[in-house]
Structure 1
Amino acid sequence: MNGRIFTDYQMFSHVLRNIFPMMVVNSKKEIQYVNELYCQFFRYNPAELIGEHISKVRYISSIFQTCIIEDISETEGKYLERNVEWLDKEGNVLNLPTVVTGMYNPKEKEMFYFIIVKAGEQADGKKFTLNHFHFLHSLEQAVNETNAVVVTDIDGNILFVNKRYCELYDYKFDEVIGKNPNVVNSGFQDRAFYKEMWETILQGKIWSGELRNRAKDGSIHWVQSTTVPILDDSGRPIMFIAIQTDITDRIHFERSLQKKIHEEFKKTVRNLYNIVFKYREVDGEIKFTLLEGRMAKRMKLSLDNISMEYLKTVYSKEQYERIEYHLRYALKGKLTNFEIEAFKRTILVYLAPIFEDGEVVEVVGTIIDITNRKRAEDIARKMAYFDFLTQLPNRRYLQEKAEEFIFEHEINQKSFAVMFIDIDRFKNINDSMGHSAGDQLLVQLSKRLQSAIRKEDFIARHGGDEFVVLINNVDEKETHHYAGKIVKELKKPFNYRNLEIFVRPSVGISMFPRDGIDFDSLLGSADIAMYKNKKQMNSDYQFFTETLRQNILERTLLEMDLQQAVEREQLELYYQPKIDLRTREITGVEALVRWRHPVRGYISPGVFIPLAEETGTIVQIGDWVMRRACEQLKEWLHQGYPPISMAINISTAQFNHPMFDQKVKQVLDEVGLDPKYINLELTESMMLDKERSEEMFHKLRRLGVSISIDDFGTGYSSLSYLSNFPITHLKIDKSFIRDFNKSNKAIIETIISLAKALDMKVVAEGVELKQHERFLVQSYCDEAQGYFYAKPMPARDIEKWFAVNQSDLKENDQLNNVH
């Protein structure tokens, strides 16, 4: 039937039970099973959900909306992934990526639905993508008939075993889940053997070897085991998949052969499935003396037709020479084995010499069909070396390929390029259009990149929306050509559901050996160049230079110093007066933060404020500015200075705190300052999330503080928020004052008229000339600030300015004549 066929859905849930919230629903849409993570995430007890209809936890916004079960039915029970709105116990609606797949229980003759909610990371921080789910299923199908499969977590606890594993070791599924693989340890291999194995797989490398295991009934089984680590995005193992082939017959035969070297054993080997053969050297020629086994009959081989001449007709010259090499190597008294393709199968050949009086008299060989095992190993290797989504090589493969490039180009004294590509604002696509759109875009991007490079070049997905291209045997001049070609391809529109999506790639390039002689250095240099390209929008790509490295180093050092600037009391507040254009009185000051570095001296806010916003330090700095400004104003009022307002700039990161209003109230309460003296300067961008920002604006106004929209006219200017938000002041951006042309004058007049109509006050920033002031007075602007009145000053200087300039401003006859 269509869909995935499962005989016991609880069995496979062991693999994912500690990874994602999960439930099982029957065809009546009744919940049959939920795991512990589901209950924790959605705040339910299992008893509250078992037997309930899925509508209890599935948010349905309209009668026309289908249940996700109908949607999977339309896909004929195949794998389906999309965002689904779920309800937690509190009634909150959570929009989360969800996977559904059909499964069939033959005992109950009923279809069930396996639902997995991709709710972020595991509790221990290890990532596990649901693409692994597909590969585990494919892996089980590839090996289920002849090979045992066991999946363990990083600590060695068994998460999953297949049917063949249970048959081989005589255990039931539930008897081994959660146990350590040493449940089948026979004690034959010592601790050093297993230590070496674990050291290998914990380094992310594949381990292969022979194990002597003990079944539940005490019987011994020899297996050829291959263990593949499954890595997360950072390259660390998160689980291990072991594929085991039973080689007990072969081991028993080889051992019994040594004991009965002179006995005739045709009758023994004839009924074996694997091929057993013997050969010896006669007059320099290899002559086969025995060929038995059921597999030989299937391949239509017999002692009558097998010969070296026959092998020449079956294999290519290169393959034949390889076979002959191993056959003669064993005749020299050496154990050997090799793999080769034969009759559309993959076979493994073991050769063991037989001695008499210290001389090789004959060689015995076994041939094992390992086709299924090789298929399984191919799938496992694909999981280890390729990205699941784009099918491009992953970071591990990139590392190995880059080392090959370095070795070859160093020997030949050639150069090659490392191109680091990052897609700007990719997160916006995921957030606005869903993760399926982002995934489709990444798939299309990978195909574009593959079409833009040559066969000798190499491309890999480094992680997320990052790609790395190795351009073979090129100098910098030639790299310009290939880089331009790649960027041109990526700038073409991508299609998603008949929508055109445009992206901008940021591209950084480093050259071997100029910018590094090892891969980490080359990638780091390309990353630095990419970051520079992301900041400068006027170029398609950026080559690495030592100047860029120095700038990054200085920026990193500055970032480290900035994080400690508050504790080391290196920050200081300056204050710029605001003047009432009608009365000529000082109405308030704006608090502006300054940083005096002990070594670098004065650092411009234009340098450290953007850095603080990028690193998150702006919240700490903003909180310090608010408290210090309130304390200073309180001190001035206590000293008898006229009551004025204190304008404080608020960063987006501060405003986005869900308890921002309470943080403001806490500062005012602790300082003992009346909120009416505080004016919070916010930006238009903070109102993009209308519902949340409008609520916060009202909370702040209820505290009693006033609110200004800073830099008005340069951002998200909308009449709707002006009428709906409790705004008290508009600050005209200084760019309109600085470029004092006819158009900007009209904009200034429009802003003033709009503010008056909405009962708001208007403050003009950047007033530097008398003509600026005269125009603002004639246009009925309320307040102004700028170098025409005073530069920003420290508290001690502005106190002197209060005394000297208050009277001078009132006695300005020219200004009064304007009124």
Structure 2
Amino acid sequence: MEEITLWVGLAIEIALIIVTMLIISSHLRNISKNKTNFQLNEQYYKSLFEENPDAIIIFDLDGKFVVANKAVTIYGYSVEELIDKPFAGFILPKDLERVTGHFIEAVEGRATNYECTILDKEGFQREISVTNIPIFVNSQIYGVYTIIKDITEHKKAQNDLVEAEAKYRSLIENSLVGVYIMQDGKLVYVNPGLCEMSGYTCEELIGLNVADFIYPEDLPLVNENILKRFNNETGAIKYEYRAIRKDQSVITFELYGSKIVYHGRDAIIGTVIDITERKNTEKMIKHMAYHDQLTDLPNRYLLREKLNETITDSKQNNCNFALVFLDLDRFKSINDTMGHEVGDQVLMEIAERLKACVNDKDIISRYGGDEFSILLPGSEEQRASIVAQQIIAKLSYPLTFQHHELMVTPSIGIAVFPTHGESFDTLIKNADLAMYHAKSLGRNNFQFFNKELNKKAQHELDMEVNLRKALEQNQFVLFYQPQVNLETNEIYGAEALIRWTHPEKGIIPPAAFIPLAEETGLIIPMGEWAIRTACQENIKWQEAGYSPVTISVNISAKQFFQSNLVEIVESALRETGLNPNYLELEITESITMDVERSITTLLELQRIGVKISIDDFGTGYSSLNYLKRLPIDKLKIDQSFIQECPHDINSNTLVRTIIIMAHLLRMKVVAEGVETEEQVSFLLGQGCKEAQGYLFSKPLSVSEFETKYMRKRLGK
């Protein structure tokens, strides 16, 4: 106890010296003279020693604790627990040798500062900063005065900062995103990502003026945004600009930057993303959205935008423009007979020919299907007429595909702003009406819109509505035109012809509604109805005891190429019980042009037992090749050839050739439109034994046909 008291006294004396130097130097001269001041200084020491937030310890020369202030409790120990224990027990083994060396230096009279790691009472590591001061008494060292600062949190923060900086640097250096720091208009830092994007090395970029690799047209934008960021007008901002790579190719960057202080001066730090591919993709998607995929012409959506812009400009400048709308005549038959591949080639060729008819300011668009439109800004009727005439002339040259020579003619309608409309929808509608008017006048011509066309359009709309209603209300009936054996003068069959029995207008002939039915697609349900009805009425005649006859039903190209034609025929035969031998399907010559598409359906129909004939032979796209490949039973010579017989040599030659060819191919021949006995004699002389026409009978209703022919065959 006396030794501790001695050390405490010694510590007090040393502390008084330190306190006297740092805090109360003005009182040093009076300490030895004034007892009161000594007591006061003793209180100063106690406050400095006991209340100091840093641990203050006195070690003897052997490194054992002699005395400590209460700050040591932050390590979990009381002062009493530490007294007379060596410091070595609290030092981590890795630091012990180094700490011991510092202690020896203090014992030898040299003050030292160092850092090390100790264990607190709970076994946790604590980082400390240590100051060892030798204690001199009369020039002799009696111990070591140690001040300990706990720097655990400081070291942790320091380590966290180093770790964060390492992570940041690793992230930046390995990032796919370009990173830069710009100062005074020059790059002072770039990461490898930016080097890869730009094609430059880091050394080449550092110190480079940003204006040296920015696309000239975008430089004002870049400078404006740099100024805004330095002026803190927008804070961190993002924008796009084009840059020039080292290889002089142009790329698009998306840049995000903000103001910072770098090495004590204002700078801009930012990230750069190469969005060239994205911009190209967006451009491609936009192009695809506004252009026709087949012809690469603007589509109807881009036409709407351009036409609306032209309307606005024309109103502001008080000028006119014209909208030309054209449709390719009979194009659907090309698709139906030769396939869509040929149809696509035709459309691409038409697009190229249209380009030759206009100038750079005009806009050609594929409106849809086989419809094209041409916007003629600043044009009136006169120029529109000239362009329409050029189109007709350009399209008059035949097209050759798959060894077939095709003629594609246009029907053209024209609307002029503002006379024929002041909005997109009105102009398109009126140009479309004018186009249909041109088609009704024989095709291959152009017409301007006029008010009378609205009335006609309304009539056709009403007609379509009535056609649909006619299907729903069973207003259609079949008439039958007898087919006669010219040698026996007896009927062997009949052609079923559809008629519309309108409740108010009476019987409407096919020419008045079949074209509209084809256009609207109603021909498909009408054709299915005709097949079923012909089968039903034929089987009724047989069940009534009449001799069987073959009924032929016309099949349109659209109906023929629908996927379920064979199923429809099979269903009609199965439901009615009609023998397939008594059903004949008449197809148009154009259907047989696409041999690959038609042969499958024809073979299926042949398998069922249905007969196949080609109607109006000689008027379509004639090709002898299909006749030897397709399962055709009969050729029907078109009435236009028969009408001139036997007085026209050319007609005679054509008819004779068709008959001989059919016989050589083991096909039957039927002559249509026979009206005179001379024609009968001529046909018999050429070996044609079957015919139909007004010489024998006009088309008859079911009851008339039954009374005049079916009963007569039974002698009733």
Pairs within 5 Å for 1:374-393: 377=279, 380-381=282-283, 383-385=285-287, 387=291
Q: Map Cα deviations across residues 275-321 of structure 1 (whole Å, 9 max, x no partner).
A: xxxxxxxxxxxxxxxxxxx99953389xxxxxxxxxxxxx99xx999
- The 8 Å contact of residues 240 and 254 in structure 2, kept in 1 or not, is answered as yes
- Mapped partners of 2:600, 2:210: distance in 1: 82
Pairs within 5 Å for 1:601-616: 601-616=506-521
Q: Map Cα deviations across residues 307-365 of structure 1 (whole Å, 9 max, x no partner).
A: xxxxxxxx99xx9999999999x999999999999999999999999xxxxxxxxxx99
Gaps of 5+ in 1: 1-217, 220-244, 254-264, 274-293, 302-314, 354-363, 811-819
User: Equivalent residue for 2:700?
Assistant: 793
- The 8 Å contact of residues 416 and 512 in structure 1, kept in 2 or not, is answered as yes
Report how many aligned residue pairs link the two structures.
515
- Mapped partners of 2:699, 2:405: distance in 1: 49
User: Equivalent residue for 1:357?
Assistant: none
- The structure-2 alpha-carbon separation of the partners of 1:648 and 1:340, relative to structure 1 and needing over 3 Å to count, comes to closer
Which amino acid in the other structure matches residue 576 of structure 2? Answer: V
- The structure-2 alpha-carbon separation of the partners of 1:389 and 1:660, relative to structure 1 and needing over 3 Å to count, comes to closer
Q: Quote how far apart the aligned CAs of 1:619 are.
A: 3.0
- Mapped partners of 2:654, 2:570: distance in 1: 36
- Mapped partners of 1:681, 1:628: distance in 2: 16
- The structure-2 alpha-carbon separation of the partners of 1:511 and 1:801, relative to structure 1 and needing over 3 Å to count, comes to same
- The structure-2 alpha-carbon separation of the partners of 1:447 and 1:298, relative to structure 1 and needing over 3 Å to count, comes to farther
Which secondary structure state, in structure 1, belongs to the residue aligned with residue 489 of structure 2? coil
Which piece of structure 1 moves more, 366-375 or 757-766? 366-375
User: Equivalent residue for 1:687?
Assistant: 592
Is 1:735 the counterpart of 2:640? The answer is: yes
- The structure-2 alpha-carbon separation of the partners of 1:607 and 1:631, relative to structure 1 and needing over 3 Å to count, comes to same
Match of 1:709 among 604, 609, 614: 614
Match of 1:569 among 434, 459, 474: 474
User: Equivalent residue for 1:519?
Assistant: 424
Which amino acid in the other structure matches residue 648 of structure 2? Answer: K
Q: Map Cα deviations across residues 656-696 of structure 1 (whole Å, 9 max, x no partner).
A: 45665554344233223334433443443343344665565
**As a proportion of its length, which structure holds more helix?**
2
- Mapped partners of 2:598, 2:665: distance in 1: 19
User: Equivalent residue for 2:121?
Assistant: none
Which amino acid in the other structure matches residue 793 of structure 1? Answer: L
- Mapped partners of 2:628, 2:350: distance in 1: 44
- The 8 Å contact of residues 475 and 500 in structure 2, kept in 1 or not, is answered as yes
Which amino acid in the other structure matches residue 739 of structure 1? Answer: E
- The 8 Å contact of residues 622 and 650 in structure 1, kept in 2 or not, is answered as yes
Point out the structure with max Rg over C-alpha: 2
Match of 2:579 among 667, 670, 674: 674
Q: Quote how far apart the aligned CAs of 1:485 are.
A: 4.8
Pairs within 5 Å for 1:65-464: 298-299=208-209, 377=279, 380-381=282-283, 383-385=285-287, 387=291, 395-420=300-325, 425=331, 442=348, 453-454=358-359, 456-460=361-365
- Mapped partners of 2:295, 2:492: distance in 1: 61
Is 1:636 the counterpart of 2:636? The answer is: no
Q: Map Cα deviations across residues 680-716 of structure 1 (whole Å, 9 max, x no partner).
A: 4344334334466556556545545544433334345
- The 8 Å contact of residues 426 and 438 in structure 1, kept in 2 or not, is answered as no
Q: Quote how far apart the aligned CAs of 1:389 are.
A: 7.9
User: Equivalent residue for 1:596?
Assistant: 501
- The 8 Å contact of residues 334 and 343 in structure 2, kept in 1 or not, is answered as no
Q: Quote how far apart the aligned CAs of 1:500 are.
A: 11
Q: Quote how far apart the aligned CAs of 1:511 are.
A: 1.5
Identity between Structure 1 and Structure 2 (%): 36
- The structure-2 alpha-carbon separation of the partners of 1:375 and 1:472, relative to structure 1 and needing over 3 Å to count, comes to farther
TM-score, length-scaled by structure 1: 0.49
- Mapped partners of 1:655, 1:435: distance in 2: 18
User: Equivalent residue for 1:509?
Assistant: 414
- Mapped partners of 1:675, 1:540: distance in 2: 45
TM-score, length-scaled by structure 2: 0.55
Which amino acid in the other structure matches residue 745 of structure 1? Answer: N
Q: Map Cα deviations across residues 493-512 of structure 1 (whole Å, 9 max, x no partner).
A: 99999x99997565443211
- Mapped partners of 1:374, 1:807: distance in 2: 86
- The structure-2 alpha-carbon separation of the partners of 1:514 and 1:630, relative to structure 1 and needing over 3 Å to count, comes to same
Q: Quote how far apart the aligned CAs of 1:730 are.
A: 3.7
Q: Quote how far apart the aligned CAs of 1:605 are.
A: 0.9
Q: Quote how far apart the aligned CAs of 1:519 are.
A: 1.8
- The 8 Å contact of residues 414 and 435 in structure 2, kept in 1 or not, is answered as yes
- The 8 Å contact of residues 412 and 435 in structure 2, kept in 1 or not, is answered as yes
- The structure-2 alpha-carbon separation of the partners of 1:660 and 1:436, relative to structure 1 and needing over 3 Å to count, comes to closer
- The 8 Å contact of residues 347 and 367 in structure 1, kept in 2 or not, is answered as no
- The 8 Å contact of residues 389 and 439 in structure 1, kept in 2 or not, is answered as no
- The structure-2 alpha-carbon separation of the partners of 1:762 and 1:439, relative to structure 1 and needing over 3 Å to count, comes to closer
Which secondary structure state, in structure 2, belongs to the residue aligned with residue 399 of structure 1? helix
- The 8 Å contact of residues 437 and 496 in structure 1, kept in 2 or not, is answered as no
Q: Map Cα deviations across residues 606-632 of structure 1 (whole Å, 9 max, x no partner).
A: 232233334433332222222222222
Which secondary structure state, in structure 1, belongs to the residue aligned with residue 470 of structure 2? coil
Match of 2:380 among 475, 494, 508: 475
Which secondary structure state, in structure 2, belongs to the residue aligned with residue 405 of structure 1? helix
- The 8 Å contact of residues 349 and 367 in structure 1, kept in 2 or not, is answered as no
Q: Quote how far apart the aligned CAs of 1:735 are.
A: 1.7
Match of 1:802 among 696, 705, 709: 709
Which amino acid in the other structure matches residue 401 of structure 1? Answer: K
- Mapped partners of 1:417, 1:567: distance in 2: 42
RMSD (CA atoms) = 5.8
User: Equivalent residue for 1:76?
Assistant: none
Pairs within 5 Å for 1:570-585: 570-585=475-490
Is 1:649 the counterpart of 2:584? The answer is: no
Q: Quote how far apart the aligned CAs of 1:572 are.
A: 0.6
- Mapped partners of 1:618, 1:735: distance in 2: 25
Match of 1:617 among 517, 522, 525: 522
- The 8 Å contact of residues 385 and 394 in structure 1, kept in 2 or not, is answered as no
Which secondary structure state, in structure 1, belongs to the residue aligned with residue 472 of structure 2? coil
Which amino acid in the other structure matches residue 709 of structure 2? Answer: F
- Mapped partners of 1:691, 1:728: distance in 2: 19
Which piece of structure 1 moves more, 451-460 or 637-646? 451-460
Which amino acid in the other structure matches residue 474 of structure 1? Answer: S
